């Protein structure tokens, strides 16, 4: 059904006698809207109801039909008007909240975030906006979804002896290492058996096997909403290899490249080793600070889904401002979506690439979803950039092993990679909940990926890490992610490499160390 619904109507509805239960929010002065929201929900469409509603609300917002600060209908009212369950509408709101379109608190109304939309009447095309403060990590996130115990046990439980990882420290809380013992051994064996029976290609396509790129179009569409053809995809060995190709193919020596500060060390190393000049770009809790970017960058490297290392998720206003900046300066944006598959509160965020495919090069990898030892990833770009990147791959002898391509194709085509991501998402959500509980109030970093950040008072991080190591708990300190002098001190706490019990044990050790450290308060009680 289709409904024309204004926020005024919504406010009225909330207080109407048709509502069986009393309104949960106090009545507010209705906000007058110049246009009505035309929303529809179609139960017979392929797209789930939540995504239908979220997509239409995005259109409303980009179309300027709601201004910053305006209030949205309550979930209850919109659900009633559309004839769908309130859960569906809440999920759509939560998604837009996470994307930075909306702000506010559950229970006191939902509002359009400042800077998220164009001025009223600006038409359907998104206009450049100043970067405003998004909800950021400080905003309240919905509680973690309940995890089916059986699935989580399957993913985290003991595996066949051959899948036991190498000897590691008793508790490894270093970031960036996925749970490789969770890989299904039968599916893994099938993938490599398949690889061994595929033809040895005498003259392989330097962009990657056609079957792999075809399988990736489906994976990218389903898992990240990236809709491209196989001609826009280049198979890579992972993010670093993709960055190497971008640098070799699209930059000249001495070109200025913006990198997040703090940021991913390997990205800095790859750019620098190929002769680019690094320009550190400031990062805050929301990710890259976009309004401070110099105009003379040839390229900016960013991790919008989950800033590495600080964990922020780039809000929509900054994303729009970043794309506008790139268009006006002629720079390219490289979007490193290294762990965009893992979010625990809402569906994964849309990509920067989806926002403006002309100025963004998108990099994905199996290093976090599956294992870094596989050495497989992908680069997505507008079609005219692919030939130069493929030529650079040929020039530099940069290719993905043929059997690795066959194995990944099999993992994608059989749906195993997506099943594995789902299992791991549940597993990581449980570990993350344990960590949040054990180190209550101390952690920042968005509800994504497989690590969190603990800020510490100046001069303490190295000592805390050393004390933890002394007690068998390996953590990383933040300083290594700075190209220049660190402006922030703290720990990176990963929950990919340690199982649930080890995460709990490791966090307990850290809480005890912090309790004994002068100048820091002890870890709080479980929330």
Nearest to 141 by CA among 512, 445, 376: 445
Instruction: Decide if residue 275 touches its own copies (CB under 8 A).
Output: yes
Q: What kind and span of H or E run contains 450?
A: none
Tell the smallest beta-carbon distance from residue 228 to its own copies (Å): 24
- The reply on whether position 252 binds its own copies by CB under 8 A is no
In Å, how far are 105, 129, 266, 396 from 245, measured between CA atoms? 44, 32, 14, 9
Q: Radius of gyration of the chain from Cα atoms? A: 24
The yes or no reply on residue 238 touching its own copies (CB under 8 A) is yes
Inter-CA distances, 112 with 70, 73, 288, 349, 388, Å: 5, 11, 22, 18, 42
Among 29, 150, 252, 373, binds its own copies (CB under 8 A): 373
Min dist CB 196 to its own copies, Å, is 3
**443-444 sheet: strands from edge to edge:** 443-444, 451-455, 490-494, 476-477
Span from 266-274, 288-296, 459-467, 504-512 in contact with its own copies (CB under 8 A)? 266-274
For position 197 contacting its own copies by CB under 8 A, the verdict is: yes
CB atoms < 10 A from the CB of 196, how many? 9
Residue carrying the six token digits 């529809």: 40
Q: Which is nearer to its own copies, 63 or 372 (CB)?
A: 372
Judged by CB under 8 A, the residue of 28, 395, 470, 524 near its own copies is 395
Q: Shortest Cβ distance from residue 471 to its own copies (Å)?
A: 20
CA separation (Å) from 485 to 141, 212, 254, 285, 442? 32, 42, 23, 18, 23
Look at strands 233-236 and 256-261 and give their pairing: unpaired
Q: What are phi and psi of 287, to 5 degrees?
A: 110, -155
Tokens 């791991």, residue? Answer: 424
CB of 365 to its own copies, least distance (A): 10
- Residue 364 C-beta: closest distance to its own copies, Å: 14
Contact call for residue 248 and its own copies (CB under 8 A): yes
Tell me how far, at minimum, the Cβ of 404 lies from its own copies, in Å: 5
User: Of 176 and 340, which CB lies nearer to its own copies in the complex structure?
Assistant: 176
Based on CB atoms, which residue is closest to its own copies, 370 or 443?
370
CA distances from 463 to 125, 357, 458, 469 (A): 52, 45, 11, 10
374 binds its own copies (CB under 8 A): yes
Residue 345, number of CB atoms within 10 A of its CB: 17
Minimum Å gap between C-beta 507 and its own copies is 20
Tell me if 270 contacts its own copies by CB under 8 A: yes
CB of 205 to its own copies, least distance (A): 9
If one asks whether residue 168 binds its own copies (CB under 8 A), the answer comes out as yes
**Site stretch for its own copies (CB under 8 A), options 17-25, 124-132, 246-254, 282-290:** 246-254
The pairing of beta strand 360-365 with beta strand 332-336? parallel
User: Is the CB of 46 or the CB of 166 nearer to its own copies?
Assistant: 166
Could you say whether residue 501 binds its own copies (CB under 8 A)? no
Tokens (6 digits) for 360:
């963004």
Residue 204 in contact with its own copies, rule: CB under 8 A:
yes
Cβ proximity to its own copies, 198 vs 512, nearer residue: 198
Q: Which of 107, 143, 196, 458 touches its own copies (CB under 8 A)?
A: 196
The interface with its own copies within residues 320-359 (CB under 8 A) comprises none
CB of 439 to its own copies, least distance (A): 24
How many CA atoms, within 13 angstroms, populate the side-chain half-sphere of residue 136? 15
> Applying CB under 8 A, which of residues 241, 299, 503, 514 lies at the interface with its own copies?
241
As measured in angstroms, the least distance from the Cβ of 263 to its own copies is 14
CB burial of residue 268 (10 Å; 0-12, 13-18, 19+): buried
199 part of the interface to its own copies, by CB under 8 A: yes
| Selected binder of its own copies within 3, 19, 151, 265 (CB under 8 A) | 265
| Part of the chain binding its own copies (CB under 8 A), chosen from 264-272, 279-287, 308-316, 447-455 | 264-272
The answer to whether 230 contacts its own copies (rule: CB under 8 A) is no
Closest by CA position to 104, among listed 65, 63, 74: 74
Stretch that binds its own copies, among 19-27, 59-67, 245-253, 308-316 (CB under 8 A): 245-253
Rounded to whole angstroms, what are the CA distances from 310 to 52, 91, 139, 262?
A: 32, 26, 16, 8
- DSSP notation for 310-352: T-----HHHHHHHHHHHHHHT-EEEEE-TTTT-BSSSSPPPPH
**Which position among 162, 295, 458, 485 is part of the footprint of its own copies (CB under 8 A)?**
162
* Closest by CA position to 65, among listed 94, 39, 93, 33: 33
Binding site for its own copies (CB under 8 A): 162-166, 168, 177, 180-181, 183, 188-193, 195-204, 237-241, 244, 247-248, 253, 265-266, 269-270, 273-275, 371-376, 395-404, 407, 497
């Amino acid at each position: 059904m289709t409904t024309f619904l204004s926020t005024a109507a919504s406010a009225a509805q909330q207080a109407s006698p048709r509502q069986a239960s009393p309104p949960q929010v106090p009545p507010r002065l209705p906000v007058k809207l110049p246009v009505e929201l035309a929303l529809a929900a179609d139960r017979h469409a392929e797209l789930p109801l939540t995504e239908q509603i979220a997509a239409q609300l995005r259109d409303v917002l980009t179309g300027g039909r709601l201004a910053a600060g305006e209030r949205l209908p309550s979930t209850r009212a919109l659900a009633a008007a559309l004839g769908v369950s309130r859960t569906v509408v809440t999920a759509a709101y939560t998604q837009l909240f996470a994307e930075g379109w909306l702000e506010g608190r559950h229970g006191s109304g939902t509002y359009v975030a400042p800077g998220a939309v164009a001025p009223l009447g600006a038409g359907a095309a998104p206009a450049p906006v100043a970067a405003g403060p998004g909800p950021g990590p400080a905003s309240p996130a919905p509680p973690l979804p309940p995890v089916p115990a059986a699935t989580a046990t399957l993913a985290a439980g003991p595996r066949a002896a051959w899948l036991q990882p190498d000897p590691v420290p008793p508790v490894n809380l270093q970031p960036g290492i996925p749970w490789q013992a969770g890989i299904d051994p039968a599916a893994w064996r099938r993938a490599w058996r398949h690889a061994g029976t595929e033809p040895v290609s005498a003259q392989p396509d330097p962009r990657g096997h056609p079957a792999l790129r075809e399988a990736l179009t489906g994976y990218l569409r389903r898992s990240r909403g990236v809709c491209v053809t196989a001609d826009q995809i280049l198979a890579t060995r992972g993010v670093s290899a993709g960055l190497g190709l971008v640098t070799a193919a699209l930059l000249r020596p001495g070109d200025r490249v913006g990198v997040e500060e703090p940021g991913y060390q390997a990205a800095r190393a790859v750019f620098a080793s190929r002769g680019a000049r690094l320009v550190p770009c400031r990062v805050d809790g929301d990710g890259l600070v976009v309004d401070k970017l110099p105009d003379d960058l040839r390229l900016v490297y960013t991790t919008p889904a989950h800033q590495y290392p600080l964990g922020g998720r780039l809000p929509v206003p900054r994303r729009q401002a970043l794309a506008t900046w790139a268009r006006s300066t002629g720079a390219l944006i490289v979007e490193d979506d290294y762990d965009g598959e893992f979010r625990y509160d809402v569906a994964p965020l849309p990509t920067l690439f989806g926002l403006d495919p002309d100025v963004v090069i998108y990099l994905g990898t199996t290093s976090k979803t599956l294992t870094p030892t596989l050495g497989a990833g992908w680069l997505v770009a507008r079609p005219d950039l692919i030939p130069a990147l493929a030529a650079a791959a040929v020039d530099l002898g940069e290719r993905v092993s043929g059997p690795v391509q066959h194995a990944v194709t099999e993992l994608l085509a059989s749906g195993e990679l997506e099943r594995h991501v789902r299992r791991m998402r549940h597993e990581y959500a449980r570990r993350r909940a344990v960590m949040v509980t054990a180190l209550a109030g101390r952690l920042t970093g968005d509800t994504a990926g497989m690590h969190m950040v603990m800020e510490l008072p100046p001069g303490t991080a190295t000592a805390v890490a050393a004390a933890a190591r002394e007690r068998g708990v390996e953590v990383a300190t933040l300083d290594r992610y700075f190209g220049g002098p660190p402006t922030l001190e703290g720990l990176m706490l990963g929950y990919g490499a340690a199982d649930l019990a080890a995460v709990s044990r490791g966090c307990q050790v850290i809480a005890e160390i912090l309790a004994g450290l002068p100048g820091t308060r002890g870890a709080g009680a479980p929330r």
